[in-house]
Amino acid sequence: MSLKTNRDKLVAIAVQGTVAPAHQWAPFEVGASGEIFAWPSTGGITYNVKVGDSVFGWAGEHIEPGVSASFSHKNKKAEAGFQFLACCGNTVRIVSGEAKGETGTVIGHHGGVEHLILDFPDATLEKLTYDDKFLVRGFGQGLKFNDHPDIHIYNLDPDVLKPWGLKEKKGGIIEVPVSVIVPGHAMGSGIGTLSVTSGDYDILCHDEATVKEYGLDKLRFGDFVAVLDHDNRYGRTYRKGSVTIGVVIHSDSPLGGHGPGMTTLMSATDGRLVPIVDDRANIGAKLGIGRFA
């Protein structure tokens, strides 16, 4: 059975941004176990961290793979529009500089810093500078499954659905391939935020027993993941029996309450979304980008 959507009713709107500056948040930071570190963090053009790589083991925290983009960091409403309209799987085109005309893919949003995460081939990354600009064909907000109005979809290009491999089953069940199923008690920073059409929230990986039990050590940039007992229909909250599906967009962090970040893609409270573990449930594997190019 093929899933029917309202794709033909979605609005395509161009949004334009540029490279977001790399940050240094503090001379030193303190991790949840008392460790002191001074590491790279968000922003910039990241050459050697790609979709498909592990989110663990880097000498960095909240690392964003590929290119971090923003509108301007000056106009808050325009910045919000840039984040809101750009959806996971959208095409992004470089419109200036040596790499003009080359294309990449939107992976997701990172809240707090309000960065859009973009994947480009290695050869393209080498041509980019902080002066370059990106035009995103924003397409996906408002997406619905015609026959499943209780499943809420956000931040997702409808053309990702087919390669992702969702399956509609009898009884109104939709099976969703995910790399990892995360227990609800392992979610941290970002819970309680109202908007799920921008930003992300973090998977906590500081408890070794939980990491081992649920296989969280397998997490990679670009992985599709499911969070149990989390309702993201109208904000991020705990609701028993709910399921939220997202995509991993930044690395682990030693900071208390933080960990690998996940952009929301789908949420339902009625048992209609059923996660199916699949090692290739990664946007890179499905679209042939990042380490899967």
User: What pLDDT is attached to residue 270?
Assistant: 93
pLDDT in tens, 193-221: 988 999 999 999 999 999 999 999 999 99
CA 124 to chain centre: 21
- Cα end-to-end distance, the chain, whole Å: 29
Query: Does the structure show a pLDDT above 70 at 1?
Result: no
pLDDT in tens, 24-44: 999 999 999 999 999 999 999
CATH of domain 8-138: 2.40.10.170
CA distances from 171 to 96, 214, 244, 272, 273 (A): 50, 28, 19, 9, 11
Verdict on whether the full-model pTM lies above 0.85: yes
CA 191/CA 201 separation, integer angstroms: 7
CA 179/CA 53 separation, integer angstroms: 13
Query: Does the structure show a pLDDT above 80 at 114?
Result: yes
User: What pLDDT is attached to residue 73?
Assistant: 60
CA 95/CA 267 separation, integer angstroms: 35
DSSP assignment, residue 158? G
Ranges of CATH 2.40.10.170 domains, the chain: 8-138
* DSSP assignments along 227-281, one per residue: EEEEE-SSS-EEEEEEEEEEEEEE----STT--SEEEEEEEESSS-EEEEE-TT-
CA 285 to chain centre: 15
CA distances from 137 to 14, 87, 157, 280, 293 (A): 5, 9, 10, 26, 21
Query: Does the structure show a pLDDT above 70 at 74?
Result: no
CA 44/CA 102 separation, integer angstroms: 18
248, β-bridge pairs:
262
pLDDT in tens, 236-278: 999 999 999 999 999 999 999 999 999 999 999 999 999 999 9
For residues 11 and 142, is the Cβ–Cβ distance under 8 A?
A: yes
CATH class given for the domain over 152-292:
mainly beta
pLDDT in tens, 144-191: 999 999 999 999 999 999 999 999 999 899 999 999 999 999 999 999
User: What pLDDT is attached to residue 77?
Assistant: 74
Query: Does the structure show a pLDDT above 80 at 122?
Result: yes
For residues 177 and 164, is the Cβ–Cβ distance under 8 A?
A: yes
Ranges of CATH 2.102.30.10 domains, the chain: 152-292
DSSP assignment, residue 42? S
User: What pLDDT is attached to residue 159?
Assistant: 98
Provide, rounded to the nearest whole percent, the portion of the chain with pLDDT above 70. 99
